[in-house]
Amino acid sequence: MPINDPRNANRTRIGGFFIFVAVFIKADMSKKSVPQTPAIGKLGLLLTVACSGGAVMILELLGTRIIAPYYGVSLYVWSSLIAVTMIALAVGYYLGGFLADRYPRIRLAHIFTLASITTVLIPFISGPVMQLTNPLGMRVGAFVSALLLFSVPLTALAMVGPFTIKLATQDLRGVGRAVGSVYAVSTLGSVLATLLLGFYLLPLFGTRTIIFSLSLLLFIWAMPLIWRDKAGFTHASASLPLWVAGVLVGLLSINGYATPHASGKGFKVLHEEESVYGWVRVVDDLRHGHRLLLSDSSVLSAVELEHGRSLLNYQAILGGLPLFRPQAKDALLIGLGGGHVAQDLKAKGLATDTIEIDPAVASAALAYFHFKPTGDFIVGDARYEITKLQKQYDFIIHDCFTGGSEPTHLLTVEMLRELSGLLKERGVLALNYVGFTQGEGAEAVASVYKTLKTVLPEVAVFITVKEEFTDFIFLASNEPIALDKSNPDKRIQWLLDHAYSIDDRQGIVISDDFNPLESMQLRKAEQYRKVFMQRIAPELLFL
């Protein structure tokens, strides 16, 4: 995942309240006024605000887990979710203040019920919504999907703040304290919910369970608000619509808990696990006799069920690295996938240390792709883990492809320098990169090449197919990388036939400080997604 992950952003949740204070406080508030509903207690109001703030963050974070399997994990998806959240908060703040002043019959219980029922609907409508927005492309489609799925519940939750301020403010002298308290408590609720979700809830329960549980919690929170608000719910008929909505939320949640993910026609899901990095699934394609390892919208491994042979052509080049350094004894593989590259190297007598960021991918490789470690088996982010390594390698293999784009923080000159420091004197750094030979996106390939050449002087390039969209395998070293043209070995002749030349005057040097690779990879991500959607049942990608 990108090191500048938007999840690390520190965003203000209730800052807009100050803009709208004039909406909920009348000009003649120097005199004491009666709140629109009997006080439910300051502690109750603060807990209500904390609940709404926490629910906003949970929905925003889970939004990427719902959209990413279909549109990929990228800056565009995160930007869409953040933008939709901020739009919904702005609308909710204003609308909440307006309604609190003009329509006293609307109570906090109504708002929580609206948030509850629109939250429980998300898993049921996410598939149709994303299929509807698919023709809009990756960027617009992700944004419109987020807008349609999350804007209403987020807007409802944002309305809680103005209503709470209206209830908590008795006269003009208490305005500052009321707004400040709402500001602080809502933000605290957001912080606690973020930590609880990321550290505990998501790894333990997964997105579906959390979404349905959140919808139930929001309605359960409305119950004491109904009970304490005797002025607003004097007659049973006033609360009846809320109870009907609550029953609907309960029934939908129970149905959602009990309904398994759809496999899609011709596919069988053998294993599914949701980690903090995405949905990891092992799927058998029964139509073609293939087994796939999927992470969100990316194929990490594909093998023939009958023979166990890898279907990813670039892995044959990586498995043939000993042709360049016959005396090699060890390797480091960054990006495990199904472990096929490590197994190929093992068959050629090389011990291979592996680094895989996602524990769910690592366990799937062991359980479903017959991977057996031949060296250190490390689970963690490569950017951090390589700083702890104390050995050097004959080969370092950089294979971190995810959903149409490589994690950009793993392709910077700083990262590649750290890897070069782990190479032996004649060691080779091999990097797999998917891209275009010409047109838009070719600059990204040239930039990877130029960045590599800045670190290691000798760089050779091979492609898997002689087409515009292909895998590029970069081999970089301090020593020349050459093959004997007279050698009749078919593997060597194939490599010589697939050698590719790149003009190092094109592209840029990618660095931690300046890394526009995300935008440079847009065409590639869209092309990969197009191919992926043609081969995978859409039902596999829905919540």
Three-class secondary structure assignment of 340-409: HHHHHHHHCCCEEEEEECCHHHHHHHHHHCCCCCCCCEEECCHHHHHHHCCCCEEEEEECCCECCECCHH
Q: What is residue 146's predicted lDDT score, i.e. its pLDDT?
A: 97
Q: What is the pLDDT of residues 249-287, one digit of tens each?
A: 999 999 988 887 777 789 999 999 988 888 899 999 999
- Under the banding of pLDDT at 50, 70 and 90, the label for residue 45 is confident
pLDDT, averaged across the chain: 88
pLDDT score for 332: 98
pLDDT at 34: 39
258 to 71, 127, 255, 261, 542: CA distances (angstroms)? 26, 18, 5, 10, 16
Confidence tier at 126 by pLDDT (50, 70, 90): very high
Q: What is the pLDDT of residues 16-33, one digit of tens each?
A: 433 333 333 333 333 333
Residues 6+ apart with CB under 8 A from 381: 357
pLDDT, average across residues 315-343:
94
Percent of the chain predicted with pLDDT > 90: 66
CATH 1.20.1250 domain residues, the chain: 39-258
Asked whether residue 11 carries a pLDDT value surpassing 70, the answer given is: no
Provide the pLDDT for residue 260: 74
Six token digits for residue 414: 């700083």
35, 187, 338, 432 from 374: Cα distances, Å = 70, 48, 14, 22
Look at residue 336 and give its three-state secondary structure.
coil
Residue 406 pLDDT: 73
Task: In the chain, list all ranges with CATH 3.40.50.150.
Answer: 312-540
CATH architecture of 39-258: Up-down Bundle (1.20)
CATH class of 312-540: alpha beta
- Which among 475, 487, 477 is positioned nearest to 430, based on CA atoms? 475
pLDDT at 462: 97
In the prediction, which pLDDT does 425 show?
95
Helix then strand count (H, E) for the chain reads 19, 12
Q: How far is CA 441 from the centre of its chain?
A: 23
* DSSP-derived pairing of the beta strands 423-436 and 393-398: parallel
